[in-house]
Amino acid sequence: MPNPYPTELRTLAVRAYEAGTETYVTVAARFSIGEATLQRWVRRQRTTGALDPLAKGGGWTSPVHVDVLHALVHERPDRTTDELTRAYNHRVAAGARVHRSSILRALQRTGYVFKKNDPARRSTIVRVSKPSAQPSRCGPPR
């Protein structure tokens, strides 16, 4: 969600409309805002007397019980995230199963650091193209 318009802009736009010489369309065009936005600001000013932006709301709450997750981490801190997710889903009621990504976000939120790969999987360097590939030519053909 983008940040709200500043209160100063809201005040200037509403005062310009309330002066009574211009329409919603012209005032909105002058301040580079939407016409409906200006109408909402004027309506809110008239009904509540305030123009401050409302607090952002919404979003999701985490389905992960942090105390259970911390207990599992303290039992065996060397678990991979897949193992931790399976252990969490076994410990919590069957209807409250969570995905690995939820566990990862909960770990990050609470300050845990984890490795992406387990020690058995090493990173490897591979070639981008086969050695028999034709070299590319720059410029016009000769």
The more confidently predicted of residues 59 and 29 is 29
* Integer Rg of the chain from CA: 29
Angle of helix 35-48 relative to helix 7-18, nearest 10 degrees?
A: 90
Q: What letter represents residue 87's amino acid? A: A
Angle of helix 66-75 relative to helix 81-91, nearest 10 degrees?
A: 120
pTM given for the model: 0.47
Mean pLDDT over residues 20-31, rounded?
94
pLDDT value, residue 132: 61
**In this predicted model, what pLDDT tens digit does every residue of 78-91 receive, in sequence order?**
888 888 899 999 98
Q: Is the pLDDT of residue 127 over 50?
A: no
pLDDT value, residue 60: 82
